[in-house]
Amino acid sequence: MEMNHIFRQGSDPNKPTLVLFHGTGGDEHDLLPLAEMLSPGSSLLGIRGNVLENGMPRFFRRLSEGVFDEADLIARTHEVKAFLDEAAAEYGFDPARLVAVGYSNGANIAGSLLLHYGNVFSSAALLHPMVPLRGLTPPSLKGVSVFIGAGVNDPLISKAETEELEELLSGAGADVTVKWSNQGHRLSAAEAEAAKDWLDRQSF
């Protein structure tokens, strides 16, 4: 499965591999600085979405703001999973020790991967995510830890949407931590620090 990406081998083999999913208009390099802060020494796999919207990379199509093309989302979810399997074989990282770090559109594809494949990630930092799919019975997420970064004044994502996603993941067995900030849809330094503290508490 072809996806533009960058892989950086980490210096600490005891650390997990972080898989990075950018927001709309980003690329495989966008979240590298954040990932280096979250887990120094980890191997990093940055992926670029295969969909273009007005020239801006995304991981799946949408019909309008906040309205996803669900058929495309499902197909792209399976596409990314196939890529992760191939990348694990190519680069030699342990597919059982992956941490997703996704922002906005990237958080949504990471969330969809969890809802389709369960423990595809041992942990996931979802920064300003939405509920990717409704009406799907997720597999067990027991043993999976999820951090959700959310904005109380996010103009794109309501508080109720964040709470619905938290309930969906928790109901499937995930251990969910939510960090609220007042930075709208932007990533904040406090949110990044909270994600780092959360990740430091995980065992791999």
- Catalytic: 104? yes
- Catalytic: 112? no
Q: Is 74 exposed, middle or buried (0-12, 13-18, 19+ CB in 10 A)?
A: middle
Q: Which of 27, 69, 78, 185 is catalytic?
A: 185
Q: Which of 104, 112, 122, 181 is catalytic?
A: 104
Residues with Cβ within 8 Å of 90's Cβ and at least 6 positions away in sequence, in order, are none
Phi first, then psi, for residue 179 (nearest 5°) are: -115, 115
Nearest residue to 81 via CA among 168, 21, 141, 41: 21
- Catalytic: 185? yes
Q: Which of 122, 128, 145, 154 is catalytic?
A: 154
Alpha helices in 39-188 (DSSP H): 70-91, 105-117, 159-171
Query: Would you please indicate which residues are annotated as catalytic (active-site) residues?
Result: 104, 154, 185
